[in-house]
Amino acid sequence: MKITMIGSGYVGLVTGACFAEWGHQVTCVDKDVHKITRLQQGEIPIYEPGLDVLVATNAERRRLKFTTDLPSAVADADAVFIAVGTPARHNDGDADLTFVYSAAKEVAVAIRGYTVIVTKSTVPVGTGDTVERIVARERPDAEFAVVSNPEFLREGSAIDDFLKPDRVVLGTDDDRAASVMQLIYQVLEETPSRIVVTKRRTAELIKYAANAFLATKITFINEMADLCEAVGADVQDLAVGVGLDHRIGMPFFNAGPGYGGSCFPKDTTALLRTAQDYGVPLRLVEETVGANNARKRRMALKVIEAAGGSIDGLTVAVLGLTFKPDTDDMREAPSIPLIEALQRSGATIRAHDPQGMRHAMSLLSEVAFCGDVYSCCEGADVVVLMTEWETYRHLDFGRLRKAVRVPTLVDLRNIYNRDVAERHGFSLTGIGRAH
């Protein structure tokens, strides 16, 4: 199949490289000349484990190309995927679809012969209908169908998520488009992955419902963590005891400082907006959004309490800044409100992150960014583990003890063993665990 990706950002690049890996002829398009030039030279503009190798091998096999020339890339494609950004609008937090609509216009002008136009970007319900209208208006003679094919990739494990998905969702009423899409995903027929074909509006809503459910599941375990702290129970064991019921499930049941990233916060807000537009109250999702925002703000109080009630004049070492490990993404990271609140309370902040420091520097001021964990903890009165990067799981506690001024450790991801920490003289505060 000949596939064209419009937008060579995170989703476009991962999807394009994976389709090429499955043997399709893929052309990734972007307006950003600098980005395309770098990609043509084998440089990957984002951090995603395994993506560099996947892009390099498939470029070498001549199955993956990069260009800024949209019309030629679209002309002979069987399917054109729109994978451009849908940032949250500043005024109302709703998804901004300007890029999707302008891509649809450009694609409309360029298509030749029957073409399936696929919306891959996360778009509110009904966007497929608008894209269809735009294309038909622009090119009344065009033979095309618009399909919704939402993505369920997680940053950091996107390639595995793509190549071995639980499910692929295809939203279309057009039989011809459905068979083109089935051919694109044909390799999955031999695997346990399920392909769900449904109406376009349902497919669009599935994406938001999945993210809202996961955000709610995390918020639920976070609230249980608070209750565990109050009653002297342990949330880690509680999550196992509850999650082993396969109707509930263990994954995405880890208590932490609140979810962040570019998807859950944005998509839950966009879903609430849709619900409001249609006059359908989604109280559970509303509560999830509110509880998560409040939780992120509350994490600073936890650190202040661990420091003895005041942080004024003290030094806090923050380990991990990104919203989760294996990404350089700082969007909606809980580390940002935490650091800002601690600074307002008079703390001096030192910080380390394996990938996120470059982005963090543009978002945070007056933070000393350090090259390694131990220099970051030098002279610290409190060490806060914020993001569970693998490297932080194997700290040398002896060395850490020598570096810090006061051995107080706040573990916001429950990765440390209390006995080990205490043996090295640290007092440990976790999430949802009795002292």
- ∠150-413-335 over CA atoms, to 5°? 75
- Shortest approach of ligand UGA to residue 242 CB, angstroms? 13
Residue with tokens 């043996």, as numbered in its chain: 423
Q: Whose Cβ is closer to ligand UGA: residue 155's or residue 328's?
A: 155
- Do 54 and 159 touch, CB atoms closer than 8 A? yes
Q: How far apart are CA 270 and CA 105, in angstroms?
A: 24
Token pair recorded at residue 242: 């509850």
The phi and psi torsions of 260 (rounded to 5 degrees) equal: -135, -155
The CA-based dihedral angle spanning residues 222, 228, 229, 231, taken in that order and rounded to the nearest 10 degrees: 150
Looking at the Cβ atoms of 83 and 311, the one nearer to ligand UGA is 83
Cβ proximity to ligand UGA: between 204 and 267 the closer is 267
Query: By beta-carbon distance, which residue lies closest to ligand UGA?
Result: 263
* Nearest Cα residue to 188 out of 71, 302, 19, 27: 19
Cβ at position 381, least distance to ligand UGA in Å: 26
- Shortest separation between residue 12's beta carbon and ligand UGA, angstroms: 13
Tell me how far, at minimum, the Cβ of 404 lies from ligand UGA, in Å: 25
What backbone phi and psi angles, to 5 degrees, belong to 319?
Answer: -100, 115
CB of 421 to ligand UGA, least distance (A): 21
Judged by beta carbon, residue 128 or residue 325, the one nearer ligand UGA is: 325
Query: Pick the catalytic residue: 18, 28, 263, 370?
Result: 263
Q: Is 197 helix (H, G, I), strand (E, B) or coil?
A: strand
9/5 Cα distance (integer angstroms)? 10
Residue placing its CB nearer to ligand UGA in the complex, 260 or 432? 260
DSSP category for residue 188: G
Return the closest-CA partner of residue 242 out of 217, 205, 274. 217
370 belongs to the catalytic site = no
Q: Which residues of this chain interact with ligand UGA, rule CB under 6 A? A: 122, 151-155, 211, 214, 218, 252-254, 256, 259-261, 263-264, 267, 323-324
Phi, psi values for residue 332, rounded to 5°: 55, 25
Enumerate the active-site residues.
263
